[in-house]
Amino acid sequence: MIRQYAVIGLGSFGLRVLQKLAEATDQIIIVDRDKAVVESCKELAAKSYITDAINPEALTRILPEGIDVSIVDVGGNLEAAIVITNTLKKLGVRQIIVRADSDERGEILKIVGATTIIYPAREAAEKLVPLLVSPTLFRFMPISPSLVLAEVKVPERYVGLTLIEANFRQARGINVVALRKEDGDEYIYFEPKYRMQADDVLLCAGSEEDVTGFTGTRVTGRKIGIGNMLKGIFGRPRFRKETSSEKKK
């Protein structure tokens, strides 16, 4: 059974979904109120509509029966997202995937019928921030409450050891999946006898605690000693904690 898809709202996320989805299927309907946007990508869709989907009658008329998956991205317009989501629910669409920018909005959209909320900004931030606070962490992917995957530069003290000697799994709770060179893209599956080199980057799986412990950085959890940390760096008068208002020139 071939699935049918509707992309409703071609915001930056909806547009990317359409482009990627079109690589795998032709069963896509697109709906957006902006004519220029619809025209620019109608070749990717089986059927395209220039319509404001916030109108339930119009959306109902457009969508064929048997749409399996809908993706809703109407930018920051919460009212439109709510009305569209609810219309899709009433039409019996099984998967209603809606993009949201904040947890609060996501919760509201779930109540009115969204089956999945996608938070592009949150996901990107969660991947990025650990890399910003650790110089030896190259990538960070939360997978489940108990598992993250991360690219970690081989800690100095393990350089020259084999994976058997390093014994990461027993000693550090770290499962090494593959490795690559720091300046390369290509991953290799290593032999247990391989001796790690200083420019190796390990793709590791483990709990967040074990992985960040392995890199020597604490990524999450509450900060400690705010006052003392601030004193060191933000000690000059103009760095006192306060909000300043700069006037535009």
Considering the rule CB under 8 A, would residue 180 count as an interface residue with its own copies? yes
What residues numbered 218-247 form the site for its own copies, per CB under 8 A? 218-223, 226, 229-230, 232-234, 236, 238-246
Q: Residue 39 phi/psi, 5° resolution?
A: -60, -35
Considering the rule CB under 8 A, would residue 91 count as an interface residue with its own copies? no
Nearer to its own copies, 92 or 225 (CB): 225
Which one of residues 104, 107, 123, 182 is an interface residue with its own copies (CB under 8 A)? 123
Nearer to its own copies, 35 or 157 (CB): 35
User: How buried is 125 (Cβ within 10 angstroms: 0-12 exposed, 13-18 middle, 19+ buried)?
Assistant: exposed
Considering the rule CB under 8 A, would residue 195 count as an interface residue with its own copies? no
What residues numbered 1-20 form the site for its own copies, per CB under 8 A? 2-5, 11-13, 15-17, 19-20
Nearer to its own copies, 161 or 177 (CB): 177
Strand partners, 201: 153, 180
Nearer to its own copies, 198 or 229 (CB): 229
Considering the rule CB under 8 A, would residue 166 count as an interface residue with its own copies? no
- Total residues belonging to the chain: 249
Nearer to its own copies, 86 or 160 (CB): 86
Which one of residues 77, 95, 115, 136 is an interface residue with its own copies (CB under 8 A)? 95
Which position has the token pair 């994976």? 163
Residue 248 neighbours by CB distance under 10 Å: 3
Cα pseudo-dihedral 30, 33, 38, 44, rounded to 10: -10
Considering the rule CB under 8 A, would residue 169 count as an interface residue with its own copies? yes
Sign of CA dihedral 155, 156, 160, 165: negative
Stretch that binds its own copies, among 79-87, 98-106, 153-161, 191-199 (CB under 8 A): 98-106
Phi-psi region of 87 (alpha: psi -120 to 50; beta: other; left: phi over 0): alpha
Considering the rule CB under 8 A, would residue 109 count as an interface residue with its own copies? no
Q: Residue 243 phi/psi, 5° resolution?
A: -105, 125
